Amino acid sequence: MVARSMRLTAALALLVLGVFGSSPSRAWAQKPKEILWTHAFDLASRKFGEADFSKGTQKFGVEAFKDTNNGLGIYLSQVGSVAVAPGFASLKQAEKSKGPEWLTGLDLPARKAGEKEFTKDTKVHAMEVFKDVNTNNWVYITEKALIAACPVMLKTVTSNKTPKWFHSIDLNVRKGGVKDWKDASKFGIEVYYDGNTGNMVFISETGAVAVAPSEGAPEAVKGGGKAPEWLHGLDLACRKFNEPNFTKDTKRYGVEVFRDETTGHLILLCENGNIAAVKAPKDVKAPTPMVKQPAWQHGLNLKARNFGESEFSEKTRVWGGEVFRDDNLNITIYICENGSLTAIAN
């Protein structure tokens, strides 16, 4: 749970994430700006059933970058889980940064699609909640190093409130390039209210997590809440870190976009069960009329160190990613080569 520093050396050039080749949907008139590494953390995350932190508690490396093309911040864990958040616009690269502040731990059960009741066999996903005081963001990290982030909104926070289950939904998602729903996969998603931070927490049966601020403490939902509304689907092409151009063989992830009628948030569901969540714009019609294709913005190559890896090196894992804008909803989407995704309102 300590901050890591990095010497300002030529190795920084290895971090910078540029655009390779042409876009799947549009071409840039000029090369995008380089991405700036700002700081990094080693975050401890207890496994479910691990009551206290100890010297044996697992720790994961998390890097933080500023996307100088739009001023947004990117968090990337060592397993390639990505989260985007504000608070980076004025941030500069610092050799020494402030360490994260641990707030609380959460244990969230998540049922599989079609599983009607919580039982002793329901998978429980453990996670920790940290405050990045450098950017005033909450950073959630699970026992599998899956992360989510959003800005701190509450003036007063607590650390002793049990998360309140809000409702659950089963959502279908097609694979990239597939128009028919016949063979669509289905994932269960639970929605909780974290009263410690004032955030809604969305967790997939896979353990993928997304968070978004809530406008006040929500009332308890009767009857399981309203069914979500499907808005539209997206095909997002994402190159691997060593894939310079988009080709016919580039992986294309299918992503469905839903409006959660109960919470007023958008939920983006990737074909592998990864999720993102963002506050829904007003007056969104379902399904989306006259759907616009996602507009590709730029590509990313991001290095993420493992816990204990103090310096970037040639052996440090590099993750490829892409940035898209969904003009149907005025949101920006980041997707990693492993299908991890995150979204933020423009």
CA dist 340 and 346 (Å) reads 20
Average pLDDT on 126-130 reads: 98
Burial class (CB in 10 A: 0-12, 13-18, 19+), 145: buried
Residue 32: what pLDDT? 83
By DSSP bridging, strand 59-67 and strand 251-260 are unpaired
CA distances from 29 to 17, 19, 297, 298 (A): 18, 12, 11, 12
Q: Phi/psi at 254 (nearest 5 deg)?
A: -85, 130
Containing 2, the helix (H) or strand (E) segment is strand 2-4
Please tell me the predicted confidence (pLDDT) of residue 22: 36
The residue type at 15 = L
Whether 15 shows a pLDDT value over 60: the answer reads no
Residue with tokens 């006040």: 216
The Cβ of residue 281 has, within 10 Å, a number of other Cβ atoms equal to: 14
The CA distances from residue 226 to 75, 99, 167, 261, in Å, are 32, 41, 9, 6
C-alpha–C-alpha distance, residues 192 and 260, integer Å: 13
Question: Cβ distance 101 to 73 under 8 Å?
Answer: no
> DSSP readout, 308-344?
T--S--TTSEEEEEEEEEETTTTEEEEEETTS-EEEE
Q: Does the pLDDT at position 343 exceed 70?
A: yes
State the chain's mean pLDDT as an integer: 90
Q: What is the band of 23 on the pLDDT scale with cuts at 50, 70, 90?
A: very low
- Output the pLDDT for position 155: 86
Tell me the per-residue pLDDT of 289-321, one tens digit each, with 9 for 90 and over. Answer: 999 999 999 999 999 999 999 999 999 999 999
Q: Is 313 exposed, middle or buried (0-12, 13-18, 19+ CB in 10 A)?
A: exposed
Q: What residue ranges in 112-198 does DSSP mark as E strands?
A: 123-132, 137-142, 147-151, 164-173, 185-194
pLDDT, position 95: 58
Confidence tier at 222 by pLDDT (50, 70, 90): low
Which amino acid makes up residue 9? T
The span from the CA of 99 to the CA of 43, in Å, is 10
Burial class (CB in 10 A: 0-12, 13-18, 19+), 256: buried
Q: Is the pLDDT of residue 169 over 80?
A: yes
- For residue 225, what pLDDT is reported? 75
Instruction: Write the burial class of residue 160 (CB in 10 Å: 0-12 exposed, 13-18 middle, 19+ buried).
Output: exposed
pLDDT recorded at residue 266: 98
